[in-house]
Amino acid sequence: MKILKLVWLTVICTVLASASPGTIKNPFLWHLSRGNTGFYLFGTMHLADPSLQVLPVALEKALERSDAVYTEVSMEPADQLEATRMMLRLDGKRLWSTLPAPLYQRSAEYLKSLNPALEMQPFEKMKLWAFSATLQFLEAQLRHPALPAIDAVIYQRAKKAGKEVGGIERVEEQLSAMEALSEREQLLMLEATLDYLEQNRDYVTTIQKLYRNGDEKALMAYLTSMMFQEEKYRALEERFMQLILYERNERMAQRILQKVKENPQKTYLFAFGVMHFLDRGSVTELLEKEGFKAERIGSPKEVR
């Protein structure tokens, strides 16, 4: 579905595998400065991709020079378990009793198309929005089922090095946008998800390639081409983007400002989904409005 591709680039941590250091040609890495204050922003990709486990050299340098590393949410086991808990229904309802029969059947058929052994049963307790989001990148997750996302790699590397680590948002804040959707909206989201998945099986591969190339314009053009194309989904997509991206960008930018103001002696690295740093209303744009100069960097010699 058009909307969730964008959304789950920014929300759900999925899995990655290993690769050579040169795979990411131009990382989405920025250095922001204002007077004597400086910090880094790194745009991550929450997808299963064998090219992202080994960090780009420029990111390695930025990580080395940082005193504190913050991802979207904390990567501590308790916080990740809380995220999993919030994806499950506690009211006793199940997908088989919630979904209209045709939509349930379409979901089951899509799972079978990924792997004939896949059944609906493991997903029955999921909330509708969580099920839609899971379907989006399930095929990619099945390829690499047990390796950490790049966010988790960065977080754990920093923690092991004794650096300050944490999440810029709480789990419940991050997922509150999904919780704000009505059941009718969540049903429409699942319908749109299946519409897209049944017609476009190569979108993950395309996004991975564009991300690795680091071409901001090409990535934005591809992502925006997948949205607002069908009238029946347009209102939901607009509402969703406001909830999941723009409102969160405002919160993220304010918390970044608070941290660098309270601790000007520290160098921070903030690693969020790449869409939080691109286009209008981005965290980068909001920080520039506060007087920070944002410079995209990529090679080791460019890392300050």
Residues 6+ apart with CB under 8 A from 304: 31, 33, 38, 65, 297
For position 13, what pLDDT does the model report? 33
The residue range of the domain holding 96 is 2-302
Q: Give me 185's structure tokens.
A: 């909206």
Q: How far is CA 234 from CA 1, 128, 130, in A?
A: 12, 19, 20
Residue pair 197/136 in contact (Cβ under 8 Å)? The answer is: yes
Tens-digit pLDDT profile for residues 46-105: 765 666 777 889 999 999 999 999 999 999 999 989 999 999 999 999 999 999 999 999
Give the 3-state DSSP-derived string for 142-184, with helices as H, strands as E and coil as C: HHCCCCCCHHHHHHHHHHHCCCEEEECCCHHHHHHHHHCCCHH
And the tokens for 44?
């991550």
Q: Are 135 and 143 a contacting pair, CB within 8 Å?
A: no
pLDDT attached to residue 56: 87
Burial 172-193 (b: 16+ CB within 10 A, else e): eebbbbbeebeeeebbbbbbbb
How many domains does the structure of the chain reveal? 1
Q: Kind and range of the H or E element at 38?
A: strand 37-44
Instruction: Identify whether the C-beta of residue 207 lies closer than 8 Å to the C-beta of residue 220.
Output: no
State residue 228's pLDDT score: 64
The single-letter DSSP state of residue 122 is G
Residue 214 has pLDDT above 50, yes or no: yes
Which has more confidence, 31 or 52?
31
Asked if residues 164 and 231 have their Cβ atoms less than 8 Å apart, the reply is no
Backbone angles phi, psi at 32, to 5 degrees: -110, 135
Q: How far apart are CA 212 and CA 43, in angstroms?
A: 11
More confident residue, 25 or 195: 195
pLDDT mean over 101-116: 96
pLDDT at 11: 38
